[in-house]
Amino acid sequence: MKISQEVKVGLLAVVSLAMFYFGFRFLKGSDFFSSTNKYQVIYDNIDGLTPSNPIRINGLSVGRVKSIEILQDQQNKLLVTLEVNKNIRVTQGAKAFLADDGLLGGKMIQLNVDPSKPLLADGGMLVSARETGLSALIREKTLPVLNNVDSLTYQLNRVVGQFDQTGVILNKTLGSANAAVGTLGLTVSENRAALQTTLANVNRLSSSLIETEKQLKPILTKADSFADSLQSLQLKQTLASVNKTVENLQTILANINKGQGTLGKFASDEAFYINVNKTTSSLEKLLTDFREHPKRYVHFSLFGRKDAPYVAPTAPAGSTTVTTSTVIAAPSDSTKK
């Protein structure tokens, strides 16, 4: 059986179209030689994510984005369908992070899977999440810098505007300074002779001061030596007087320690101390008895009556008794005649 040329060309065209179609789908991410599971995730904004973008777990590519649909009945949210290799265990609650894929601005989906949770069925829904990308970081860091640059430019414009006014004032100041310098030069030229005379007088005064200083130095030296001598003399006399006083005080203390003199006996003689105590005790008793019985010591007799003789109280053994009796008698008749 012979095949005509037209059939051969038709078959070749069909095969070519089929290869072109499947090759194009393969290049878009459809893998016809491996089985995959499909999962879905909803994003508010995909930031340029396109089908065939990779899906990675810890940097390993495990699938590709299959399709993206817009949900107009859900505030234009985006439904993304993911194809993941069947040998990858995707569990419930897995998060699909939308992140940057390199510095060129591409996008990818980073899966975060918890192996301890149960498996997610084919066609299940993943949890959407966003990862701060490089472009977002650059935008966040660049905007404050641009704002500062704008404010800096504004401040520089203000400073430059003030420089214009400052230049005018500076020109006036320089003109005034030039005039002042000219006036000063004219004044110096007019008073040159007087200035020379003044400088000559100052030089002579300096010479006189030098000579006076030479004459004053010996006088000051003698005054210093005299003051030193006076101070040393007064110090020697004072030290001698202090030493003499200390020696006398040491002699007195030595005599007291030896029991010489009144203070020495009082300090060292215990019997003298005991007698003094006893005498003081007896005197106290006598004064007490005199205050309580004054008639025993003082008698008043107007008619010559004799009272009973007074018997002094007996003092305790070892004490000193002092008895004082004062009798005032009335004058007798013979004395009156």
Here the contacts of 116-120 (C-beta below 8 Å, separation 24 or greater) are 116/91, 117/91, 117/92, 117/93, 118/91, 118/92, 119/89, 119/90, 119/91, 119/92, 120/39, 120/90, 120/91, 120/92, 120/94
Q: How much of the chain is in helix, strand and coil states, percent to nearest 5?
A: 55, 20, 25
- Would 264 be classed as within a structural domain? no
Q: Show which of 68, 102, 131 is a domain's final residue.
A: 131
Q: What is the pLDDT of residue 16?
A: 92
Q: Considering its fold, how many domains does the chain have in total?
A: 3
Q: What is the pLDDT of residue 326?
A: 39
- Would 6 be classed as within a structural domain? yes
Residues 13 and 74 grouped into a single domain: no
Q: What is the pLDDT of residue 244?
A: 85
- Would 1 be classed as within a structural domain? yes
- Would 142 be classed as within a structural domain? no
Residues 39 and 101 grouped into a single domain: yes
For residue 82 the two structure tokens come to 């993911």
Alpha carbon distance 67, 30 (integer Å)? 10
Tens digit of each residue's pLDDT, the chain (337 residues):
577 888 888 888 999 998 888 887 777 655 555 578 889 999 998 888 888 899 899 888 888 898 999 999 989 999 999 988 888 889 898 999 988 876 666 788 999 998 889 988 888 999 988 876 566 667 667 767 777 777 778 777 777 777 667 777 878 888 888 888 878 877 777 777 777 888 888 888 888 888 888 888 888 887 777 777 766 656 677 778 888 898 888 888 887 777 777 767 766 767 777 888 888 888 888 888 888 888 777 665 555 555 555 555 554 444 444 444 433 333 443 333 3
- Would 143 be classed as within a structural domain? no
Task: Choose among 91, 121, 101, 117: nearest CA to 47.
Answer: 101
- Would 211 be classed as within a structural domain? no
Residues 11 and 100 grouped into a single domain: no
- Would 194 be classed as within a structural domain? no
pTM summary value: 0.36
- Would 158 be classed as within a structural domain? no
Q: What is the pLDDT of residue 79?
A: 93
What's 210-275 look like in SS3? Answer: HHHHHHHHHHHHHHHHHHHHHHHHHHHHHHHHHHHHHHHHHHHHHHHHHCCHHHHHHHHCHHHHHH
Which domain range does residue 18 map to?
Answer: 1-32
Q: What is the pLDDT of residue 33?
A: 58
Residues 38 and 118 grouped into a single domain: yes
